[in-house]
């Protein structure tokens, strides 16, 4: 049994899993951005992702050039971010986090409905100009598209880290994340910061939406990728970008390996819940997640 | 969360039990005589099932403070368990199947409630999604649960209580009404008992609850068990009395959210709230489709209707969270107090 274990196949599955984990991380980063600065688990991230991808695809299909469509979509995402801050977050300031969570649940319904009401419900293909042909690296077949996605994700994490560390507004994000009242006391403008964060989350949603859209086709089910990102967040901690990356890799890899090696014992299709079980078992051992703040209990 | 305290109006109001008793008498005595089949099939039956599910979730989320996003899984567990008990156990009366199904749902609830012993808030809410996906997957994957029918569809058996056959829309309505009335009464007794107070104590301050000697872990699991039991029974009503044929996909994440929305809109930590919320959730899509068809005519096809429903529902949730965090119950109580006041001052 062990003797004829196919290592090359194992590595192929592992690498494929890790790369698809990067795709989960991409979605998870959008959550982390908002959670870090406002303590809200933003369930609408998936809806934003759908909205961004759908808007972009529809613009391109109507003959708008690629780059312009990107800019226009980003502008729309910024506008949505500002609108959300004005209409939803501001009236709910100082409400318990779970109330804000439910508000984002409502928000996701609105955005999903609006996206499809405006652009229709049919499935759109999205071609980013990257061919999805397998590359052979060291005898292991790896999808070219996956590598591209990984590079984009890495670039985005680098960009966000630099932004948080070295820019003035990035620093104020961190100040707000540490202590909202103290941040207000030193004169940081919370509404501006929140609107910026939501716009940044919109940008992440746009990038993730394009990559996922190219993979799955742009359609309603795109908003369901949040459900893939949630166990990643539970594993990595809601407030850690690094955690989102490592959690994504862990979930992606274990999910693929489980699907290939033990999936048959369950009759297949276990990927709908396997990630959750991994995250739960992990949390039972280490309640703060991989890199999350130590304090999970809020008393 | 002030909804628990209910109303303290100074007006000399009637005893508290009068209104529910009158309501139930009306539901039994008058509604079956005047209702049309559309009223039962499209409004009252889903309303009763969802109300009961709302009562169940409210015990867990509203009273005990543990947010669950997996309610539909427990509905599914209840429905499929009742189907199998009824099918496979010879001579078991229907009520027996339903009670046993409730216990099955409760057992599953305890298993998926275990994370609540270590997790709180969002972490717990996300972990309850595991129940949602696992149960739905298991029911679709293993055809034994649906007696090997295609794509996991189950058909409801004939309904009867204590030998009385309950056929037709009115019969199924009476069947659902009886179960909902009994379970709701028990739930009401529960939340005003010591156990119910323990739930509230854990919700409001877990450390304090521990200090005054409440067994926190056991009580949390009990909340999961009781809540799942009630939601499971609601699932049986949904499957047996309302839809008659269901498949696991009917109990998806959207259904879980729907039940969560019911208790947000109706009012957290209020038994009445679940009924208010369910009424709005059931009636509002019907009203919206009528209204849309009236105003926009042909443009308002089912696709547009579906999307505008989502938008309006989402907007309603946000509006309630901002304007009336205690839900329709608080709104109702305020209106009633105003009316009483106006009536007294004349």
> pLDDT tens for residues A33-53?
888 877 788 889 999 999 999
pLDDT, residue A295, reads: 46
Q: To probe the interface with A, which of B317, B324, B325 has the most A CB atoms within 10 Å?
A: B317
Q: What is the reported pLDDT for A39?
A: 78
Sign, CA torsion A272/A276/A278/A279: positive
Which ranges of A39-167 does DSSP label H, i.e. alpha helix? 45-61, 66-84, 97-119, 144-166
Q: What is the pLDDT of residue A16?
A: 83
Interface check A113 vs B, CB under 8 A: yes
Indicate whether B172 pLDDT > 60. Answer: yes
Tell me the nearest-neighbour CA distance from A265 into chain B, angstroms: 12
Are A112 and B142 inside 8 Å of each other by CB?
A: no
By the CB < 8 Å criterion, does A65 face chain B? no
Q: Is residue B49 part of a domain?
A: yes
Q: What is the pLDDT at residue A106? A: 92
B210–chain A nearest CA distance, Å: 12
Mean pLDDT computed over A263-288: 77
> Where do the domains of chain A lie?
23-126+154-285
- Chain B positions touching A269 (Cβ under 8 A) are 137, 140-141
To the nearest whole angstrom, how far is the Cα of A43 from the nearest Cα of chain B? 11
Q: How far apart are CA B211 and CA A29, in angstroms?
A: 39
pLDDT at residue B6 in the model: 47
- Nearest Cβ partner for A112 among B120, B126, B310: B310
- A106/B115 CB distance under 8 A: no
Report the number of distinct structural domains present in chain B.
1
Q: Do A97 and B121 touch (CB under 8 A)?
A: yes
pLDDT-based confidence at B9, cuts 50/70/90? very low
**CB contact (8 A) between residue A296 and residue B119:** yes
List the end-to-end C-alpha distance of chain A, in Å, as a whole number.
51
- pLDDT of B228 > 80? The answer is yes
Residue B103, domain member (yes or no): yes
Q: Is B65 within a domain?
A: yes
Distance in angstroms between the alpha carbons of the first and the last residue of chain B: 33
CA distance A285 to A239: 19
From chain B, the residues in CB contact with A238 under 8 A are 122-123
B242 contacts B46 by C-beta, under 8 angstroms: yes
**pLDDT for A195 beyond 90:** no
**Once rounded to an integer, what is the mean pLDDT over residues B167-188?**
91
Residue B90 lies in a domain: yes
Cβ–Cβ gap A276/B129 under 8 Å: yes
**Cα A226 to Cα B213: distance, rounded to the nearest angstrom:** 40
B208 touches A: beta carbon within 8 Å: no
In a domain, B210, yes or no: yes
Nearest by CB to B120, from A88, A103, A298: name it: A298
On whether any CB of chain A is under 8 Å from the CB of B260, the answer is yes
- Could you tell me if B205 lies within 8 Å of chain A, comparing CB atoms? yes
- Domain containing B57 equals 11-252
Lowest-confidence region among A5-9, A249-253, B278-282 = A5-9
* Arithmetic mean of pLDDT over chain A: 82
pLDDT of residue A238: 82
The label of the residue with tokens 């999604």 reads B129
Nearest to A113 among B121, B207, B308 (CB): B308
Q: How confident is the model at residue B236 (pLDDT cuts 50, 70, 90)?
A: very high
Phi, psi (degrees; rounded to nearest 5) at B147? 55, 45
Closest to A22 in 3D by CA, of A206, A198, A212, A163: A212
Residue A185: how many other CB atoms lie within 10 Å? 9
Query: Which of these ranges, A27-36, A133-142, B18-27, B32-41, has the smallest mean pLDDT?
Result: A133-142
- Tell me which of B301 and B108 has the higher pLDDT: B108
pLDDT at A299 over 60: no
Task: Grade residue A290 by pLDDT with cuts at 50, 70 and 90.
Answer: low
Whether B187 is covered by a domain: the verdict is yes
Contact indicator for B92, B157 with CB cutoff of 8 Å: no
Q: B121 — contact with chain A (CB < 8 Å)?
A: yes
Q: Do A101 and B307 touch (CB under 8 A)?
A: no
Distances (CA, A) of A184 to A32, A95, A190, A207, B197: 21, 17, 7, 31, 38
> Quick check: B321 and A92 CB within 8 A?
yes
Packing angle, helices A97-119 and B302-323, rounded to 10: 160
Nearest-Cα distance to chain B for A266, in Å, is 9
Q: Decide if B134 and A112 are in contact by the 8 Å CB cutoff.
A: no
């Amino acid at each position: 049994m062990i003797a004829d274990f196919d290592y090359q196949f194992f590595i192929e599955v592992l690498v494929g899993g890790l790369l698809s984990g990067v795709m989960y991380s991409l979605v998870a980063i959008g959550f982390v951005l908002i959670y870090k600065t406002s303590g809200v688990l933003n369930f609408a991230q998936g809806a934003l992702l759908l909205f961004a991808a759908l808007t972009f695809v529809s613009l391109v299909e109507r003959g708008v050039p690629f780059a312009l469509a990107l800019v226009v979509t980003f502008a729309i995402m910024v506008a949505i971010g500002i609108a959300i801050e004005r209409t939803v977050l501001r009236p709910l300031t100082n409400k318990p986090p779970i109330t804000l969570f439910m508000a984002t649940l409502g928000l996701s319904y609105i955005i999903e409905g609006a996206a499809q009401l405006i652009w229709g419900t049919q499935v759109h293909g999205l071609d980013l100009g990257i061919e999805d042909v397998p590359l052979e690296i060291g005898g292991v077949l790896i999808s070219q598209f996956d590598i591209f996605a990984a590079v984009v994700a890495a670039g985005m994490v680098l960009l966000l880290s630099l932004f948080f560390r070295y820019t003035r507004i990035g620093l104020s994000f961190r100040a707000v994340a540490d202590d909202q009242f103290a941040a207000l006391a030193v004169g940081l403008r919370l509404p501006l910061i929140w609107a910026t964060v939501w716009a940044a989350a919109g940008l992440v949603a746009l990038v993730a939406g394009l990559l996922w859209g190219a993979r799955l086709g742009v359609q309603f089910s795109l908003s369901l990728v949040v459900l893939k990102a949630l166990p990643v967040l539970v594993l990595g901690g809601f407030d850690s970008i690094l955690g989102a990356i490592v959690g994504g890799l862990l979930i992606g890899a274990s999910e693929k390996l489980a699907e290939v090696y033990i999936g048959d014992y369950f009759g297949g299709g276990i990927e709908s819940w396997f990630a959750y079980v991994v995250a739960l078992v992990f949390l039972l051992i280490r309640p703060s997640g991989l890199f999350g703040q130590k304090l999970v209990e809020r008393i | 969360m002030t909804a628990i305290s209910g109303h303290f109006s100074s007006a000399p109001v009637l005893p508290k039990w009068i209104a529910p008793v009158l309501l139930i008498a009306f539901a039994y005595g008058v509604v079956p005589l005047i209702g049309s089949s559309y009223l039962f099939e499209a409004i009252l039956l889903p309303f009763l099932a969802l109300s009961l599910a709302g009562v169940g979730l409210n015990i867990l989320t509203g009273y005990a403070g543990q947010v669950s996003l997996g309610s539909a899984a427990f509905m599914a567990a209840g429905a499929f368990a009742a189907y199998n008990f009824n099918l496979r156990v010879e001579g078991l009366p229907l009520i027996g199947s339903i009670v046993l199904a409730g216990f099955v749902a409760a057992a599953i609830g305890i298993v998926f409630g275990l994370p609540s012993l270590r997790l709180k808030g969002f972490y717990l809410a996300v972990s309850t999604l595991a129940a949602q996906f696992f149960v739905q997957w298991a029911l679709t994957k293993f055809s034994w649960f649906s007696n090997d029918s295609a794509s996991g569809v189950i058909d409801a058996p004939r309904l009867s209580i204590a030998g009385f056959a309950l056929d037709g829309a009115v019969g199924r309505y009476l069947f659902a009404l009886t179960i909902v009335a009994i379970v709701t009464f028990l739930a009401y007794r529960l939340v005003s008992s010591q156990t119910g107070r323990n739930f509230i104590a854990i919700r409001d301050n877990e450390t304090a609850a521990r200090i005054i000697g409440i067994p926190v872990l056991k009580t949390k699991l009990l909340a999961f068990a009781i809540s799942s039991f009630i939601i499971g029974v609601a699932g049986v009503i949904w499957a047996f009395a309302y839809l008659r044929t269901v498949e696991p996909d009917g109990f998806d994440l959207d259904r879980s959210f729907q039940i969560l929305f019911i208790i947000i809109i109706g009012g957290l930590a209020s038994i009445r709230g679940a009924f208010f919320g369910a009424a709005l959730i059931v009636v509002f899509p019907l009203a919206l489709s009528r209204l849309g068809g009236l105003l926009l005519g042909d443009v308002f096809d089912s696709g547009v209707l579906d999307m505008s429903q989502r938008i309006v529902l989402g907007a309603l949730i946000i509006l309630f969270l901002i304007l009336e965090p205690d839900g329709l119950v608080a709104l109702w109580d305020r209106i009633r107090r105003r009316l009483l006041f106006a009536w007294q001052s004349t």
